[in-house]
Structure 1
Amino acid sequence: MKTIITLLASLALTSATFADGEWISLFNGKDLNGWTVKVNGFKAGENPGSLFRVEDGLLTVSYADFWKDSFKDEFGHIFIDRPFTNYHFRCEYRFIGEQVNGGPGWAQSNSGAMLSGQDPKTMDVKQKFPNSIEFQFLAQDKTGQRTTGSICTPGTYIDVNGETVKKHVIKSTGIAAPIGEWVVAEAIFKDGQLKHIINGETVIEYSNPKFDDGTPVTSGWISLQAESHPCQFRNIEIQILD
């Protein structure tokens, strides 16, 4: 009887935690409880070298204890431990320090939130990125023209302005901030319509996301990226729109 009561209480808490319309914190600032790590070359649930960790209350991507030589495509993602259908997701991000030795040039000060992606448990051990829609996070470079909030499409494609687009990167209008500066990023996914918002400004809108085999993307897991440059996240929240 005690076990049944405990289970019912747990289910009630889960239901209350993700009530429609309320902003719910997804990160407790203390540990990675409620999240699953998946790193290329490792099984889901392994967190080699504490790639994802908590530092000073911030969800942090750190390579200090992982790569002793150089980066070899060990791209990582940390997933919220449940899928979502219609939602408004938001977080703040910033890039810190230097890119790890061997990281590709395109990945310098590069991260993102992977929206409505596959379950991390279904990813191959040697799968670099989950099939998903990436809300790309970038910091500025010396050109001053780098954008943030763009779309990347690993294993997916989308419609933009009513036309199907199958290229990997679709640039937004959001100008990236300097390394070290906090940026507020929001993504809205509602009935196949999506928008990316940076610091309160909508930077791109699109619709009808599909996986490469043509299956509509209607729900999935949200994850944050590690792509060879240290970064941090805070105020990670979601509002259910179902």
Structure 2
Amino acid sequence: MIKTSYFVCLCILFVFGCTPDSSQSDSGEDWQILFNGKDLDDWVVKIHQHEVGDNYANTFRIVDEIIQVNYDEYVTFDNRYGHLFYKEPFSSFHMKFEYRFTDQWMEDAASYTYRNSGVMFHSQDPNSILKDQDWPISVEYQLLAREVDGQARPTGNMCSPGTEVFYEGNLYPDHCLNSSSPTFDWDEWVKADLIVYRDSLIIHMVNGDTVLRYSKPHIGGEVANRFDPNVKIDGKALTSGYIGLQAEGQGVEFKEIKLKKLD
């Protein structure tokens, strides 16, 4: 049975629009440090066209206590979409991280990947991702930066490879859902919060402001390809899963990655 306090919390969030304060209790026993600043021992790499655990061309590396997506050992990108997964799944949680882009971009990558990355959550187990599967079945907290001066390009959006969500009470028909965030320059550190209540409510925050809310994530839809059909069970609610940092041809850096379990 779900605790009464959980229902009360959800009612307050839905009715009054309240959001947990992203600034409180950043340090302490409740927060689990996901990246120790030293190594990737707690993380699992999966890159398209490669086996689980193959960190091709040192794509994911540590530089100055930062997780860096770096392509300086690549000749061509060749659709090597990659993800770096934390070793254990989570259900209800509040995750914090900071990110910024670098000036590195693989020109043979798809044009939409320019100054574009993301953090996947409620993802399938990386060990269940087939060698030639391009995207994990998951929900994505999408990260974007300014591409053209004077043109809005919000960050903290939602994308849904192999999944679907409800927005404002209705099944959202498109792959990505824009947030209300401002546009940031590519080399600016941005603080992100991801608050997930199982399959009930998901909140995206950027620099302390709530920019997007949606609900009922479940397996379904398109985009992910060449997956194990036993994993993609359309209609199945996503109540937990793995967290993965994305690499899709654009250099990006992540730091201060921590998580507090809410259940």
What 5-or-longer segments of structure 2 have no aligned partner? 1-27, 221-233
2:168 equivalent in structure 1: 161
Question: 1:202, 1:115 → 2: CA distance?
Answer: 18
Q: Deviations over 1:205-238 (max 9, x none)?
A: 0001110100000000000100101110000000
- TM superposition score normalised by structure 1: 0.89
2:142 equivalent in structure 1: 136
1:237 equivalent in structure 2: 258
Is residue 93–residue 196 contact of structure 2 (8 Å, CA) maintained in 1?
yes
Aligned counterpart in structure 1 of residue 49 of structure 2, from 41, 52, 67: 41
Aligned counterpart in structure 2 of residue 127 of structure 1, from 112, 122, 133: 133
2:123 counterpart of 1:104: no
Q: State which drifts further: 186-195 or 78-87.
A: 186-195
What 5-or-longer segments of structure 1 have no aligned partner? 1-19
Q: Per-residue deviation at 1:98? A: 2.4
Is residue 110–residue 138 contact of structure 1 (8 Å, CA) maintained in 2?
yes
2:20 equivalent in structure 1: none
Question: 2:259, 2:189 → 1: CA distance?
Answer: 19
Q: Per-residue deviation at 1:21? A: 7.4
2:246 equivalent in structure 1: 225
Q: Per-residue deviation at 1:166? A: 2.9
- TM superposition score normalised by structure 2: 0.82
Is residue 21–residue 240 contact of structure 1 (8 Å, CA) maintained in 2?
no
Q: Per-residue deviation at 1:176? A: 2.7
Question: 1:176, 1:41 → 2: CA distance?
Answer: 33
Question: 2:134, 2:173 → 1: CA distance?
Answer: 19
Question: 2:262, 2:29 → 1: CA distance?
Answer: 6
SS of residue matched to 1:194: strand
1:199 equivalent in structure 2: 207
Is residue 21–residue 239 contact of structure 1 (8 Å, CA) maintained in 2?
no
Summarize the alignment of residues 1-242 of structure 1 with structure 2, pairs less than 5 Å apart: 22-65=30-73, 67-68=74-75, 70-143=76-149, 144-191=151-198, 192-212=200-220, 213-242=234-263
What is the RMSD computed on CA atoms of the aligned residues?
Answer: 1.2
The alignment covers a number of residue pairs equal to 221
Q: Per-residue deviation at 1:33? A: 1.2
Is residue 71–residue 104 contact of structure 2 (8 Å, CA) maintained in 1?
no
Over 2 Å off, 4+ runs: none
SS of residue matched to 1:147: coil
Q: State which drifts further: 93-102 or 215-224.
A: 93-102
Q: Per-residue deviation at 1:195? A: 0.6
SS of residue matched to 1:172: coil
Q: Deviations over 1:37-86 (max 9, x none)?
A: 00000011110111000011100000011x21x22110100000000010
| Residue identity matched to 1:154 | P
Question: 2:183, 2:161 → 1: CA distance?
Answer: 22
Q: Per-residue deviation at 1:101? A: 2.6
| Residue identity matched to 1:145 | A
SS of residue matched to 2:127: helix
Question: 1:233, 1:98 → 2: CA distance?
Answer: 15
